Structure 1
Amino acid sequence: MSSSCRRPEHMAPPEVFYNEEEAKKYSQNSRMIEIQTQMSERAVELLSLPEDQPCYLLDVGCGSGLSGDYLTEAGHYWVGVDISTAMLDVALHREVEGDLLLGDMGEGLPFRPGMFDGCISISALQWLCNADKKTHSPPKRLYRFFSTLYSSLARGARAVFQIYPENSEQLELITSQAMKAGFTGGMVVDYPNSSKAKKFFLCLFAGVSGVLPKGLDSVSSDRGVSNQAQFTAQRSRYNNMKGKSVKKVRTGSWKRRKDDADRGGK
């Protein structure tokens, strides 16, 4: 397979692949921005958040903040986590509204229990399926991530991951570790008959067993067509969390780390 056809996660670890040059190129590509915005909009739709109510959301693999821009426009507060310093530098330069945190999601999330009303992640989760170091175990890293994410979500909240699965075995690995961590839910597939438009969204429920949203189909105007694979037999109505107060994350933020570094406080 030529390097032009290789998947990014096979070429280098994310913190290496998304270097300064790649980060700038990614964030200035109008087509990439359009796709990222569309997928972020769909992910938020699948979160099924309360209408006309600001929520506190987590963006995993936030990169340069393109998804965060949509969250801000939608009226939500957010925290972004990414492993690439170059991507976070671009986000800072773009002056995104969310708080930013440098971190490896495979080592777990550092947030207090019940902190977030929901989580989205665009094109990031599949990176955990690779062992970039001898000490990396994909099942263990996935479980560590999902278990700490489960804890950080309010009961009844959802997490939606847009992913590019490499094969069915990878999908099974991801979903099995999510279930082991306590989540229920399943895969929502949009436009399953289109090779270009087909998109996979892993929709997870924390603390409840909700009805899995239905996928979009290009041959039908009905948004209720069933393109889904649910890994729980229980089907109860999803209850949105209401009336949560919004609090900003301050401790250990990437922005503060960056400011300290600029002042020579490394």
Structure 2
Amino acid sequence: MASFKVKPEHTGPPELYYNETEAAKYASNSHITAIQHEMAERALELLALPEGKTGFLLDIGCGTGMSSEVILDAGHMFVGVDVSRPMLEIARQDEDLESGDFVHQDMGLGMPFRPGSFDGAISISAIQWLCHANASDENPRKRLLFFFQSLYGCLGRGSRAVFQFYPENDEQCDLIMGQAHKAGFNGGLVVDFPEAAKRKKIYLVLMTGGVVQLPQGLTEDGEEGRTQIDNAGRRFVWNSRKNEKVVKGSKAWIEAKRQRQIKQGRDVKHESKYSGRKRKTKF
């Protein structure tokens, strides 16, 4: 008999699922870390922030701070929000994230920030949790609307919010997008690698300004552009392109991190020929 893995959001509220044990397992899983970093990098790219400008970003459902680390490595500042205290505790203990701030908050209760506080927002694998009611007084439709309304208020004029998520079906996509549009956002879905089951990723790109063409979706090398869908149901075809990344722990990654810390006014070690050099295993 085939076995099916139960999705975490079907087991109960996230603040109970991500207890100390699950949070520790999550933070120590190298496969999860690699995927989360990749999706956060893509979400940051879809924000289309001005080049050379340090942004102040909101990381929604930040968890143990994997996506927050990507924000810092790109030269931006952040505030992370999550409903799981154990996840936030791990993030707060990470010295690489000490220049950011973390807030314990349930997304469905809104974002508790002043109007226009942020230059953008990203969220990795979190928004689908709001589609499930874990108590008799929870209404997914109302919680999503209130969340998007509060998010719209705390974003600056002309900024974007990008959500990577795993929808169960088209109805769940429609629910999330519909509530975002009711809150005042424009935008739609960008699908990367739609023909590849394992690599396929869905991003909801929301804009606080007027209607702007959606960014292009990534495709396999050599393939033609794929169809993307906006909030009005219109379809666009884009050309494929490569997305170059810097490997974490490499010399280039270390130097980028060093330069970011210098901009933040922190004391850093000087560059040497040993930067990024693989160390021998200690016994």
Do they fold alike, i.e. is TM over 0.5?
A: yes
What is the match of residue 64 of structure 2?
Answer: 64
**Per-residue deviation, 1:226:** 3.9
What is the match of residue 120 of structure 1?
Answer: 122
What is the match of residue 36 of structure 2?
Answer: 36
Instruction: Indicate conservation of the 8 Å contact 1:182/1:207, yes or no.
Output: no
What is the match of residue 245 of structure 1?
Answer: none
Task: Report sequence identity in percent.
Answer: 52
Aligned-CA RMSD value: 1.7
What is the match of residue 5 of structure 2?
Answer: 5
**Per-residue deviation, 1:231:** 0.8
1:129 has 2:131 as partner: yes
- Output aligned runs, 1:76-115, within 5 Å: 76-95=76-95, 96=97, 97-115=99-117
Which AA in structure 2 matches 1:18? Y
Which blocks of at least 5 consecutive residues in structure 1 are unaligned? 235-266
- Output aligned runs, 1:174-253, within 5 Å: 174-220=176-222, 225-232=225-232
Deviations 1:19-57 (A, max 9, x none): 101111111111111101000000000000011111000
Instruction: Indicate conservation of the 8 Å contact 1:214/1:227, yes or no.
Output: no
**Alignment coverage as a number of residue pairs:** 232
Which AA in structure 1 matches 2:171? E
What is the match of residue 139 of structure 1?
Answer: 141
**Per-residue deviation, 1:155:** 1.2
Runs of 4+ in 1 over 4 A off after TM superposition: 1-4
Q: 3-state SS of the aligned residue for 1:200?
A: strand
1:49 has 2:29 as partner: no
Tell me how far apart the structure 2 counterparts of residues 176 and 194 of structure 1 sit (CA, whole Å): 27
Tell me how far apart the structure 2 counterparts of residues 113 and 209 of structure 1 sit (CA, whole Å): 21
Instruction: Indicate conservation of the 8 Å contact 1:57/1:76, yes or no.
Output: yes
More relative contact order, 1 or 2 (CA 8 Å, 6+ apart): 1
Tell me how far apart the structure 2 counterparts of residues 17 and 130 of structure 1 sit (CA, whole Å): 14
What is the match of residue 21 of structure 1?
Answer: 21
Q: Which has the larger radius of gyration?
A: 2
